[in-house]
Amino acid sequence: MENPESQIAAIVERNKRVEADKAWEVSLFRRLTIAMLTYAIAVLFLWLIGNDGFWLNAAVPALGYLLSTLSLPWVKRWWVRRYQAAQ
């Protein structure tokens, strides 16, 4: 069996990884990267199918994604309050 100090050290390391993962999940860099990749893939797809306005039309899914990430925090707070009240 491990000693308490090594167990605590393992927990601290795990907490650092969890905090880093959470920071990544909510980071603006992650959101913008996904939006840019979505835009690039949509441009390619729309160009391949012969869409005339592919540069502009590809912005729709990318902007939709960004809007969904911006509007979700208040929805999440509302949902958490209702969930906790039901418990």
Model pLDDT for residues 9-35, shown as the tens digit of each residue? 999 999 999 999 999 988 999 999 999
Three state DSSP letters for 26-81: CCHHHHHHHHHHHHHHHHHHHHHCCCCCHHHHCHHHHHHHHHHHHHHHHHHHHHHH
Kindly compute the dihedral angle of the four CA atoms of residues 47, 57, 32, 22, in this order, to the nearest 10 degrees.
-100
What is the mean pLDDT of the segment spanning 46-57? 96
Whether 1 has a pLDDT exceeding 80, the answer reads no
